[in-house]
A and B are shown apart, each in its own frame.
Chain A
Amino acid sequence: MNYAFDADYLRALRERDASAENYLVSSFSRPVQLKLRARLRSPELVQDASQETFLRVLTYFRSGKTLDNPASLPAFVHTVCHNIALEFLRAHTHDDQLPENAPEPADSSLNPESQLATAERKELVRRLIAELPIKDQQLLRRVFLDEEDRDLVCREFHVDRGYLRVLLHRARLRFKAVLSQEAGHAERDAAARSEKPTGRASQMGG
């Protein structure tokens, strides 16, 4: 069920409507995760902070409180998430965090299907990288893998920071387009499989 963030929706949250609460979590999971991942590098801390964010938001409404402007709900969730990120940063020592140059941690919550998708994404990235000129491949490598000083790398490659942003922007758009295209193909294939009778079924039918 889709809700608009209006007075009725906030009333439903105050009344602990399960559907409204689920909608809140599903609507804000992505931005909450993105923000927390940008601030906290340990995946466990991200999960804990994410749960804490939703717990606090839901507790706020369950306690009978509301917002003067219902449309400000996203800003409210953001503020709660921001405060929790700061609290977690203060509470956990630097030793708990992964070092800056640590590889992207594997998401322990990934199910096998998501892991397959990750392998597919890597394959897709491999193809996209292969299509790039050698200079751009080396530039991406130095920035993403070696995490070298970007100004230094850009100077070495005789490009400015704008070039790097445009390179990332194009690659990201291409990546998104191919991902959506492949998701579309997969959906069509699945639909075709579900429509097409299996051999045994057609034998039994005929």
Chain B
Amino acid sequence: MDHREAIEIQAVERYLLNELSPEEAESFERHYFECTECALAVEAGRWFAASTRAVFAETSRKSSRPVSQKGHKPIRATITKTLASPCVRRPIPWPN
């Protein structure tokens, strides 16, 4: 595979998405051993894929965490406590 063919068939993306046949993958690997541009493109793609996976994993961990672990008080306990506490009125100062 030469550089022109690699560009034409979107070899970098296909390689990253495991869409190349074993023969095509080996041919593209042989190419990026002598093509710094393609090797850098694959490396950037791997970084992007790994970072994207990490970011999405962090987001889903945060969103799946129970509310009480986020530092918020459990809502039922807060309501119960509020209802149980006596209503305290602040005195309004008499205008002079």
Contact = CB atoms under 8 A, between A and B. Distances in A.
Interface in B5-54: 10, 12-17, 19, 25-26, 29-30, 32-34, 36, 39-54
Interface in A113-165: 118, 121-122, 124-126, 129, 140-141, 143-145, 150, 161, 164-165
B67 interface: no
Contacts of B49: 104, 144
Contacts of A56: none
Contacts of B13: 165-166, 168-169, 172
B94 interface: no
Nearest to A72: B34
B48 A34 contact: no
A172 B33 contact: no
Interface residues of A, number: 39
Interface stretch (A75-83, A91-99, A181-189, A194-202): A75-83
A78 B29 contact: yes
A103 B16 contact: no
A78 B33 contact: yes
B53 A144 contact: yes
A75 B35 CA distance: 11
27 contacts: A28-B33, A30-B36, A30-B40, A31-B29, A34-B46, A37-B46, A82-B29, A103-B53, A121-B47, A122-B58, A125-B48, A125-B51, A126-B55, A129-B52, A129-B55, A140-B52, A141-B56, A144-B49, A144-B52, A145-B56, A168-B17, A168-B45, A169-B10, A169-B13, A175-B44, A175-B48, A176-B41
Interface of A: 28, 30-31, 34-35, 37-38, 74-75, 77-78, 81-82, 103-104, 118, 121-122, 124-126, 129, 140-141, 143-145, 150, 161, 164-166, 168-169, 171-172, 175-176, 179
